[in-house]
Amino acid sequence: MTKFIFVTGGVLSSLGKGITSASIATILKQSGFKVSMLKIDPYLNVDPGTMSPLEHGEVFVTADGAETDLDLGNYERFIDKTLTAKNSFTTGQVYQSVIKREREGGYLGKTIQVIPHVVDEIKDRIYAAADEHDFLIIELGGTVGDIEGLPFMEAIRSIRHELPKTNTMNIHLSLVPYIRAAGELKTKPTQHSVQELRRIGITPHMLVCRTERELPKNLKDKLALACDIDRDAVIEAGDAQSIYQVPLQFIKEGILNPLSNHFNIKIKPNMEKWDTLVKNILVPQQEVTIAFVGKYLDLKESYKSLIESLIHSGAHLNTKVNIHWCDSERIEDVGAYDIIGNSDAILVAGGFGHRGVEGKLAAIKYARENGVPYLGICLGMQLAVIEYARNVLGLEDANSIEFDENTANPLIYLIDEFMDQSGNKQLRTHKSPMGGTMRLGEYPFEPLKGTNLQKAYGNEEIYHERHRHRYEANPAYQEKLEEAGMIISGQSNGLIEAVEIKDHPWFVGVQFHPEFTSHLETPNPIILEFVKQANKKD
């Protein structure tokens, strides 16, 4: 029978519930247990797919095409596991299901209420995510006391009564702030947060305390007594240099004892490989600088997976990857050389919209003409094709119909129809709604033999990577591009998936998002190869 660990947060948001949950999952996974994770988001959006990156950070895409919260990316990166749509759900999805069932007569004419109908839908989704795993760690977004979180709290309370006591555990993450003027750490916010949780009917079995200062023994004892928690179940969570240190810090803090005692099982993780990778992140032997050209640079969270994928590759190469953030609009103002001239490699990331495109094109031209290692992802590949068409083929008006729907040379266009993951035909036009009209999730691609793409991935015929985009490279121009020296190095059912340039040390553009499949223990092949190339500096 699956054991459930519920992780809630108190006092305020952004304390690191996702990293805490993923770290506990890592410890259990490295102990030999089958572990999965679930993120519950209490907001009413169906998913974060149409939210601005400034609103909610990066949208993470699962293999089966679900657009989810960025915490799912952290889960995959920590536990080295592919998750699916059932590992994440929102209030919007819950109510959508309940209302649909009511409209179809599924409730046999009953009055639909939060208790039991909405709560039952939440519990059904939690049980479905368990799926024969030894452990399911469930992270509830938001903070205790939020009005939108109450139905989920009720579901957690209810599940505790449906299962044996040793099969559910409640872990509460709370803030212990340091008040500089008083020179003291204060436990009162955490005490109040736990009181609110207990008022709802949930008693935490473990307290994880986020703090900037070390928690002295007497404060841990005070919290244990005030919150009715075993003394060894008050775990300090201080700031870490790397998020991947956190599982090791938890083990040092003694988290294995309360976990083992509560579930009445032996938990003994083998963290040797993990420890080595973390040491490589913290004390690397070499370093490289990569120019990261983008436009959402005010909020680094919008590129979360990509940043982490560079860290993974660096850990395996014992190399520190310094990211030189380059605003593409700034490149438009002062030129590429002044902004990216001292970098070891250039990365142009994905994105939507026309703003900053000319700066990205200038960065790509600089990489191409100066033999600088280049990786273009999604829009970064599309712009590499446009830049090549403009400056090598001489098609000065080459463009994407995303930026000019009337362009005479649509190197990037919107295909009218394509087969989605389920084999169903999807129609897309320039005016289609943004939600649900993208190529989403995992698709196969075939690397061309002898190319940089194939050398990075290996000798298999077919590989799979994840997508999140509406526009495609136009195959009508493939012959002209190839004649001029551009190699179409990867294809997927007739769609162009990757391009390279023949007479260049290393220049690769990929239509997919390789960062979504990069994990600490298994870095993505093309990103790993890119960092290797950056390391070959003179």
Active site residues: 378, 513, 515
Q: Count of alpha carbons within 13 Å of 189, Cβ hemisphere only?
A: 18
Rounded alpha-carbon distances, angstroms, from residue 116 to 107, 168, 198, 365, 375: 11, 21, 21, 60, 51
- Give helix then strand counts, H and E, for the chain: 19, 25
Q: Nearest 5°: phi and psi at 386?
A: -65, -45
Rounded alpha-carbon distances, angstroms, from residue 489 to 22, 140, 400, 447, 526: 36, 42, 21, 6, 13
Structure tokens belonging to residue 446: 């075939």
Task: Judge residue 378's burial from the number of C-beta atoms within 10 Å of its C-beta, 0-12 exposed, 13-18 middle, 19 or more buried.
Answer: buried
CA-wise closest residue to 497 among 473, 518, 517: 473
User: Three-state SS string across 251-272, please?
Assistant: HHCCCHHHHHHHHCCCCCCCCH
Burial 199-210 (b: 16+ CB within 10 A, else e): ebebebbbbbbb
Q: CA–CA separation, 2 vs 167, rounded Å?
A: 7
Q: CA–CA separation, 331 vs 381, rounded Å?
A: 18
Q: CA–CA separation, 86 vs 126, rounded Å?
A: 9
Q: What is the CA radius of gyration of the chain?
A: 25
Q: How many other CB atoms are found less than 10 A from the CB of residue 340?
A: 24
Amino acid identity at 510: V
Q: CA–CA separation, 218 vs 479, rounded Å?
A: 73
Structure tokens belonging to residue 291: 């120019």
Q: CA–CA separation, 24 vs 421, rounded Å?
A: 33
Q: CA–CA separation, 264 vs 262, rounded Å?
A: 6
